[in-house]
Amino acid sequence: MIWAVLGCKQTELVGSVEEAKQKMYACSTTTYTGFQVVMSEEESQKFEGLPGVIFVLPDSYIDPQNKEYGGK
């Protein structure tokens, strides 16, 4: 899934594998295939337009000010 985030390199969202790893905080391969990554609203709009991206949803469990994830 890191390679999906690296696809953003084309839009200058991610510069390296390490940066992609740092931005990702969760991923799923069971019920659905997807991942959660910290990015701005502008970055998410650019990401949504990339080939292979089906949809982008905001994470209702994340607290961006405190950088905490409250999901279960």
> Which residue shows structure tokens 């292979």?
52
Q: What is the separation, in whole angstroms, between the first and last Cα of the chain?
A: 21
Tens digit of pLDDT for each residue in 10-35? Answer: 445 666 777 777 777 777 778 777 77
Which range, 3-7, 20-24, 42-46, 50-54, has the best average confidence (pLDDT)? Answer: 42-46
For the residues 39-66, what does the mean pLDDT come to?
A: 78
**Residue 1 above 60 pLDDT?**
no
pLDDT at 5: 58
Report the alpha-carbon distance of residue 6 to residue 16 in Å, rounded: 7
Report angle CA 32, 22, 24 to the nearest 5 degrees.
15
Is residue 1 within 8 Å of 14, Cβ to Cβ?
Answer: no
Q: What is the pLDDT of residue 11?
A: 45
Tokens of 23: 């931005």
